[in-house]
Amino acid sequence: MSLKIALVQTDSLIGNVAANFSRIAEIITKIKSTLAVDLIIFSELSTTGYPSEDLLFRRDFITQANNALFDLANIAPEIGIVVGFPELSEGKLYNSAAVLSEGSISAIYRKQKLPNYGVFDENRYFSAGEKPCVFELKGQFFGLTICEDVWHSDIVQATKYAGAEILLTLNASPFYAGKRPKREALICSNAKLAQIPIVYVNAVGGQDELVFDGASFVTNSDGEIVFHAPEFEEHYAVIEFENSQPLLPPCPIKEKNDIATIYNALICGTRDYVRKNGFKGAILGLSGGIDSALVLAIAVDALGSENVEAVSLPSKYTLDMSNDDAQIQAQIMGVKYHRIPIEPAVKAFTEMLATTFENTPTDTTEENIQARCRGVVLMAMSNKQGKLLLTTGNKSEMSVGYATLYGDMCGGFAPIKDVLKLLVYELARYRNSLSQVIPERVLIRAPSAELSPNQKDSDSLPAYEILDPILARYVEQDQSADEIIAAGFSSTDVKRVISLVDRSEYKRRQSAVGIKVSERAFGRDRRYPITSGFRG
Specify whether the CB–CB gap between 196 and 219 falls below 8 A.
no
SS3 per residue for 312-375: ECCCCCCCHHHHHHHHHHHHHHCCEEEECCCHHHHHHHHHHCCCCCCCCCCCHHHHHHHHHHHH
Separation of alpha carbons 433 and 436, rounded Å: 7
Taking a C-beta distance cutoff of 8 angstroms, is the pair 387, 277 a contact? Answer: no
**Which of these is catalytic: 113, 122, 147, 148?**
147
Q: Considering only the C-alpha atoms of the chain, give the largest distance between any 2 of them, rounded to a whole number of Å.
A: 89
Beta bridge mates, 159: none
Give the number of other CB atoms < 10 A from CB of residue 252.
6
Which of 111, 113, 417, 421 is labelled catalytic? 111
The question of whether 147 is a catalytic residue gets the answer yes
**Backbone dihedral angles phi then psi of residue 335, each to the nearest 5 degrees:** -100, 155
- For the question of residue 44 being annotated catalytic, the response is yes
Secondary structure of 407-448 as H, E, C letters? CCCCCCEECCCCCCHHHHHHHHHHHHHHCCCCCHHHHHCCCC
Active site residue 516: no
Measure CA 250 to chain center: 29
Q: Residue 51: is the preceding peptide bond cis (ω within 30°)? A: yes
* Four-point Cα dihedral 299, 302, 307, 313, nearest 10: 0
Active site residues: 44, 111, 147
